Structure 1
Amino acid sequence: FLDPLQENKSTWKEVCPEIADGTPLTNELHLPVSIPDVTSSPSTEFPADWSIKTRLLFTSSQPFTWAEHLKAQEEAQGFSQHCRATSINFPQSIQDPKLSTELRCAFQQSLIYWLHPSLPWLQLFPRIGADRKIAGKTSFWSHDEALQQVLMSEWSVSFTSLYNLLKARLCPYFYVCTYQFTVLFRAAGLAGSDVITAVISPTTRGLREAMRNEGIEFYLPFVEETRSKKQKNCKTNVDTEDNREQGVSDDESFSWLEEMGVQDKIKKPDAISIKLRKEKNEVQMDHKPESVALVKGTNTFMLLNFLINCKSLVAAAGPQAGLPPTLLSPVAFRGATMQTLKARSINVKTPVHLRCNDIFSLEITGPVMPHCLHTLTMLLKSAQRGAFSAVLYTHEPTAVFNTTTERTLNKETMCKDLTKCGLHLKTLDQLTQLPTLGKSSIRLLEMRDYAYSWKS
């Protein structure tokens, strides 16, 4: 259940040091000033951000008392609204947010997500780079092969359940978080695509080779983009170099050693070395954002089977040994456990013109998925009278999920087909848009006079 929200008095530097150190505050709202040359123009909506956030810090000149100390009835109503996919529409401004039961219930509803597996003593997100946090925790399955098989069997059932919901458009998207990479599965109709898509990041040459060997077709968006630019700019030079390479075999390239009579004294590279030399560029991008791979259509089902049977999906040693990947979803699925993001409100003092003014903040921590970010901003838009700011902390390996799918559809058709996926229609409308952020994600989001601006 939702942790009780506590109002604490603190200094601004303790709450948000990255803003306190050197970033000026506005006189009107006492919020961080956006930097003009990297900030968008004001808009009624902000672009979809498919990265997972680990923390949100909302600030406003209006208090967040409406988000504090929810009653048992309000919590229960929030859970019920989530399970029934009830959408609540609020007016542009709520006169007294603290007395709005609907607002408080909707806030509880917006914090809910679904997780598998559920091991309360372990932090199951993020998984990449989490060895230090998990180390020392009880993992009695790490040396029990039979128990590991049971865990993976249950995980496979949950994973398959999620994919089937996605295929039926009853689940909009979900994440598979392994200790090495993360996969985002999106239903047909989202991110401007008319087919199911899966984005994997980061990848390695070994993973890509394994996928190719299983017949999974995929492409590397940033590699294709770079290659396309080079072909347009240097078509003649590229053709010339290709002809030269085709005319000289690997054996001929070392013929000069024979002419010098030293072919026996110098070790000739073997076939593997030659192959690695040719794939140097591919190896260099391993673990980097440029290694992101995009899978489409029926190939996503092949990816599902590949991941279920992939032995390297689970760590063989270390703190995460034998622990199945984490599944995160906005809707319920077989074997999932309902979880809630942690929230707390803070009242801080900030210096403005030689005096201290109150500034109010609301902190949300946990795996904040795209729909949750949008839903929370809709609530704050009404509750904070169209004026708030938010610092967004991104799980960096997922920032690249904002790369475009390069396939657009009729927006009305897409929204109509996904109306039963459990998301608010306005949130759904945002997530159907073609991604525009590329390798970046939104870091600072600000609303003034009901208009958004953002920094990525």
Structure 2
Amino acid sequence: IVGKASPWSQDEALQQVLMSDWSVSFTSLYNLLKAQLCPYFYVCTYQFTVLFRAAGLAGSDVITAVVSPTTRGLREAMRSEGIEFSLPLVEESRTRKQKNSEYCLPNTDSVFPREPAPSDDDDDESFSWLEEMGVKDKVKKPDAISIKLRKEKHEVQMDHKPESLALVKGTNTFTLLNFLINCKSLVAVAGPQAGLPPTLLSPVAFRGGTMQTLKARSLNAKARVQLAYEDIFSLEIVGPILPHSLHSLTMLLKAAQRGAFSAVLYTHEPTAVFNTHLDTEAVRKDLPTCGLHPKTLDQLSQCPTLGKSSVRFLEMKDYAYTWKS
């Protein structure tokens, strides 16, 4: 829509109508998700993306929503609305550091204890030895604001990064829905998306939704193989390729190309972190097909294993897959 007339960017009444319709569509999708008639859907804002997943997907027995990237301001706004969430990658990193610090020395039974997190008491104790020497008054102690800034430094540093991924589970996802509907900053005030509500992407029809097709282009070429030339066929697909579409394409090519094909994939980088493992025990739950192929649904039900990365290259030879992330 760049370069085209955008009457909604200056018309406040039109913006309110668009937002009202968008809220109805968003609520419709969430209800379909709750009734397990929709496996997942995306809310794409100009600042971050939210992936809602039905219970039974990604190894979770409850509805989940992942938000990425987040900022300290967004996280504080979510907390103030009573939305409980976790930061799986931050907690995973903290757990890994604790395990690395709790190791045994060779031929001894001694263990290095992990260093506790800094607290206000620690700051007071660190100055006690100065008091014993009688020079405490000559040394300026950090004030409460300085201590607070130091503690918040790490939280601010992860803003806009994959580590800022926030996980919301269960009934908190409904609170998140209401938060997003009422969040004024979801709509851009400048740029090509000015005045437009966030985009909703779903594999199933929903109230107010429109069907869109991906742009596809097929190419035929000749490639030299040893002393001869062989026909090479390629298919280029552009657009928001959802996970179920990618799996359907692989099943189609598997049959059409007799178990031999390769694919190069370009991921929208901020969404690659959605492949991270949720901090929950894996469960398997029977789900309605929701219009998806049973094998696709089975694939989406498994726990993610790619972490912060995504599949970049996929190849099948003799009906066996190899891939790089």
Give the TM-score normalised by structure 1.
Answer: 0.64
Matched, 1:282 2:123: no
Question: What is the aligned partner in structure 2 of residue 13 from structure 1?
Answer: none
Superposed CA RMSD in Å reads: 2.5
The percent identity for this pair of structures is: 74
Shift of 1:376: 1.1
Of the candidates 80, 84, 92, which is equivalent to residue 213 of structure 1?
80
1:340 aligns to what SS in structure 2? coil
Equivalent residues in 2 for 1:32-43, closer than 5 Å = none
Which amino acid in structure 1 is aligned with residue 305 of structure 2? T
- In the alignment, the residues of structure 2 paired with residue 328 and residue 387 of structure 1 have an alpha-carbon distance, to the nearest angstrom, of 31
Shift of 1:420: 4.1
Structure 1 residues 233 and 150: CA distance shift in structure 2, 3 A: same
Deviations 1:416-437, CA, capped at 9 Å, x for gaps: 3x22422110101111000000
The answer (yes or no) to whether the contact 1:169–1:420 under 8 Å persists in 2 is: no
Deviations 1:46-102, CA, capped at 9 Å, x for gaps: xxxxxxxxxxxxxxxxxxxxxxxxxxxxxxxxxxxxxxxxxxxxxxxxxxxxxxxxx
- In the alignment, the residues of structure 2 paired with residue 259 and residue 384 of structure 1 have an alpha-carbon distance, to the nearest angstrom, of 80
Question: What is the aligned partner in structure 2 of residue 238 from structure 1?
Answer: 115
Question: What is the aligned partner in structure 1 of residue 107 from structure 2?
Answer: none
Which amino acid in structure 2 is aligned with residue 304 of structure 1? L
Equivalent residues in 2 for 1:4-153, closer than 5 Å = 122=1, 134=2, 136-153=3-20
Shift of 1:151: 0.7
The answer (yes or no) to whether the contact 2:289–2:297 under 8 Å persists in 1 is: no
Matched, 1:347 2:224: no
Question: What is the aligned partner in structure 2 of residue 369 from structure 1?
Answer: 242
The answer (yes or no) to whether the contact 2:62–2:169 under 8 Å persists in 1 is: yes
Of the candidates 440, 445, 450, which is equivalent to residue 309 of structure 2?
440
Shift of 1:257: 10
- In the alignment, the residues of structure 2 paired with residue 205 and residue 257 of structure 1 have an alpha-carbon distance, to the nearest angstrom, of 39
- In the alignment, the residues of structure 1 paired with residue 10 and residue 254 of structure 2 have an alpha-carbon distance, to the nearest angstrom, of 51
Question: What is the aligned partner in structure 2 of residue 31 from structure 1?
Answer: none
Which amino acid in structure 1 is aligned with residue 267 of structure 2? T
Of the candidates 37, 43, 60, which is equivalent to residue 193 of structure 1?
60
- In the alignment, the residues of structure 1 paired with residue 135 and residue 229 of structure 2 have an alpha-carbon distance, to the nearest angstrom, of 78
Question: What is the aligned partner in structure 2 of residue 174 from structure 1?
Answer: 41
The answer (yes or no) to whether the contact 2:275–2:306 under 8 Å persists in 1 is: yes
Deviations 1:274-328, CA, capped at 9 Å, x for gaps: 4332111111111111111111111100100010011111112333221110000
1:447 aligns to what SS in structure 2? strand
1:164 aligns to what SS in structure 2? helix
Which is bigger in relative contact order (C-alpha 8 A, separation at least 6)?
1
Shift of 1:408: 4.0
Shift of 1:398: 0.4
1:176 aligns to what SS in structure 2? strand
Of the candidates 333, 343, 360, which is equivalent to residue 206 of structure 2?
333
Shift of 1:406: 3.5
Residue ranges of structure 2 left out of the alignment (5+ in a row): 103-112
Question: What is the aligned partner in structure 1 of residue 292 from structure 2?
Answer: 423
Residue ranges of structure 1 left out of the alignment (5+ in a row): 1-121, 123-133
Structure 1 residues 270 and 238: CA distance shift in structure 2, 3 A: closer
Question: What is the aligned partner in structure 2 of residue 29 from structure 1?
Answer: none
Which amino acid in structure 2 is aligned with residue 432 of structure 1? S
Deviations 1:117-163, CA, capped at 9 Å, x for gaps: xxxxx3xxxxxxxxxxx3x3321111111111111111000000000
Deviations 1:220-256, CA, capped at 9 Å, x for gaps: 11100111122333363423x646x424359x79999
- In the alignment, the residues of structure 2 paired with residue 327 and residue 343 of structure 1 have an alpha-carbon distance, to the nearest angstrom, of 22
Question: What is the aligned partner in structure 2 of residue 307 from structure 1?
Answer: 180
- In the alignment, the residues of structure 2 paired with residue 209 and residue 340 of structure 1 have an alpha-carbon distance, to the nearest angstrom, of 38
Question: What is the aligned partner in structure 2 of residue 76 from structure 1?
Answer: none
- In the alignment, the residues of structure 1 paired with residue 22 and residue 13 of structure 2 have an alpha-carbon distance, to the nearest angstrom, of 14
Matched, 1:294 2:163: no
Deviations 1:387-424, CA, capped at 9 Å, x for gaps: 1111111111100000111434553xx2x3x2242211
User: Which portions of structure 1, spanning 4 or more consecutive aligned residues, are displaced by more than 6 angstroms?
Assistant: 252-258
1:393 aligns to what SS in structure 2? coil
Shift of 1:353: 3.0
In the alignment of these two chains, the number of paired residues is 312
The answer (yes or no) to whether the contact 2:61–2:283 under 8 Å persists in 1 is: no
381-390 or 401-410: bigger deviation = 401-410
